[in-house]
Amino acid sequence: MSRSTDTWILTAQCPSRLGTVDVVTRFLKENRCYITEQQSFDDSLAERFFIRTEFRPQDPDFDAQAFQAGFATRAEGFEMTFELTAPEARTPVVIMVSKADHCLNDLLYRYRTGQLPLDIRAVVSNHPDLQPLADWHGLPYYHFPITPETKAEQEARVWGVIEESGAELVILARYMQVLSSEMCERLAGRAINIHHSLLPGFKGARPYHQAYEKGVKLVGATAHYINDDLDEGPIITQGVEPVGHADYPEDLVTKGRDIECLTLARAVGYHLERRVFLHRRRTVVFSR
């Protein structure tokens, strides 16, 4: 698991075809790259191939640009898209929150201790409440209030921060606003949301209250990519927690917090380690 400081990641996907693994592994061999871990999967229903490789270049003067240029030529013949990730890469991120702080607190802890290789550029909220938490971690905090009238304008300001910060990933850590479909489109595939139910079980607002009404014996959380269909984006991972008759709706809210934190952190970790592949409405996750 623990990537040493000299381990690179190569991920790729393309249509199913004979030789998809070989084109990757042969190139790595030719470039004297030592493979420490590899997983590939060929989805026979979607007819799509996915591969993830961790490797250590054997030559001290490994040239990433040359590697990419060289591999691009090979990949082309397979209509293969790929990404090369450097050992110490930290993904630039913007985190969006409202008032609930448990997911933010958890992410910032993992950020501070280096458990998640994030480069947090900003925390954005429609409320001022979580500013002290951001401050303590030395992070810029943008408070953009929102009303039905100012929604478009507010989203434009949020988008401005995302753009200017150079964020590659947006984490919605219990951001309690419904994004406009324009915003969803812009964020499609590059924003992770945590929904506090086992989607597609309880969509929409107050899922724990819905769950209570139905008398369920398990509650859960779903981390998924944003796409154009609210609460229907491709699922990355899900977590679950047993509940009982003595748990009133407010207890479910409390009980759900831990599983929300863990599920979101796991999804973000998978994304940062390039373990998640997005294809249409489903994901391939090479977890461990």
Site of interaction with a copy of itself (CB under 8 A): 1-2, 4, 18-22, 25-26, 28-29, 32, 34-45, 58, 101-102, 105, 109, 113, 115, 136, 198-202, 214-218, 220, 234-238, 240, 244-248, 250-251, 254-255, 257-258, 262, 281-285, 287-288
Strand 8-15 relative to strand 48-57, pairing: antiparallel
Alpha-carbon Rg for the chain in angstroms: 20
Least Å distance between CB 176 and a copy of itself?
Answer: 17
CB 94, min distance to a copy of itself, A? 22
264 closest CA partner among 46, 87, 97, 35: 97
Helix H segments across the chain? 20-30, 64-76, 102-112, 131-136, 151-165, 181-187, 207-214, 249-272
Minimum CB separation from a copy of itself for residue 166, in Å? 28
Cα end-to-end distance, the chain, whole Å: 8
- CB 225 to a copy of itself: min, Å: 11
Dig out the tokens for 42 from the structure.
Answer: 């060929």
Give me 112's structure tokens.
């501070």
Q: How far is the CB of 32 from a copy of itself (least distance, A)?
A: 6
What residues does 96 pair with on adjacent strands?
A: 124, 172
Other beta carbons less than 10 A from residue 119's beta carbon: 15
Q: Which residues are catalytic?
A: 231
Whose structure tokens read 């490789």?
53
* Residue whose C-alpha is closest to residue 104's, from 173, 51, 157, 161: 173
Closest CA to 101 of 268, 257, 264: 257
Instruction: Return phi, psi of residue 270, to 5°.
Output: -60, -45
Pair type for strands 81-85 and 8-15? antiparallel
What 3-state class would DSSP assign to 222?
strand
Cα distances (angstroms) measured from residue 250 to each of 78, 256, 263:
53, 10, 20
Least distance from a copy of itself to the Cβ atom of residue 227, Å: 12
